[in-house]
Amino acid sequence: MSASPPDMPLIRQTNALPFFVHLLIIYNENIQLPFTPRKVPKEHTKFVDGRVIYKSQSFGREKGHIKYGLPVLSDFGEARIGNVHTGLIQPDLYRAPGVVLGMEWTSKVDIWNVGTLIWDLFEDHHLFDGRGPDNLHSDEHLLAEMVAILGPPPVTFLQKCPASQWKGEACLPDITLEDSEEYLEGQNKIMFLRFMRKMLQWDPDKRHNARELLEDPWLKNF
């Protein structure tokens, strides 16, 4: 089987809106070879109300392979073309403040996501909880946590916000970024929190870009 031309991607995705159906079209059949011989065993299937339910199948390493391949970006169902957008995006706990407040947003929302994800992976707990007394997600409580951890939003940020006069009924929790960090001490902790604050900024224009973050002293010395 011949390989695809250099300018043709191995996999293309088509989104059928508004149902977000992801169709993967494989242009290079070689990448299917390790998986096509596999058949789902009978014990991996069951029937419920006349429907077939399939259990997940492992797509781990093949025998003889020492390690996994390079990580690949996938699932671009929420990817956008252009620079400035509006609308609700991101999971609740990782949602940037500007998105919560209904403001226009750019790729800087991804920097906020990187910061909250790094915190999850390093600290083994969420930085923000965002739940009200009913244990359901609450924008009011999420924003209150952001104020407690990051300090109040700057006036210049609020002036850009169409909901700047909005008032929510949520008490500020007694938490700080410093107290939420549990594993580091001394200068290493100071450097880590400084690194986090480069991403977790109210104003997206104040967030550092990816190239700048890669040059951060804490990350380079990690």
What are 141-188's pLDDT values in tens digits?
A: 999 999 999 999 998 898 888 766 666 677 888 899 999 999 999 999
Is-above-0.85 flag for pTM?
no
105: confidence class by pLDDT, cuts 50, 70, 90: very high
Higher-scoring residue by pLDDT: 21, 95 = 95
Instruction: Please report, for the chain, the start and end positions of each structural domain, with discontinuous segments joined by +.
Output: 92-221
> Could you identify the residue written with the tokens 């930085």?
127
CA 196, 199, 200, 205 torsion-angle sign: positive
* 29-85 pLDDT per residue, tens: 555 455 555 555 555 667 777 777 776 656 555 555 556 566 677 777 777 888 888
- pLDDT at 112 (0 to 100): 97
- Per cent of the chain over pLDDT 70 is 69
CA angle 118, 122, 125 (to 5 degrees): 90
Query: What type of residue sits at position 157?
Result: F
pLDDT tops 90 at residue 216: yes
Q: What's domain 92-221's architecture? A: Orthogonal Bundle (1.10)
Higher-scoring residue by pLDDT: 106, 26 = 106
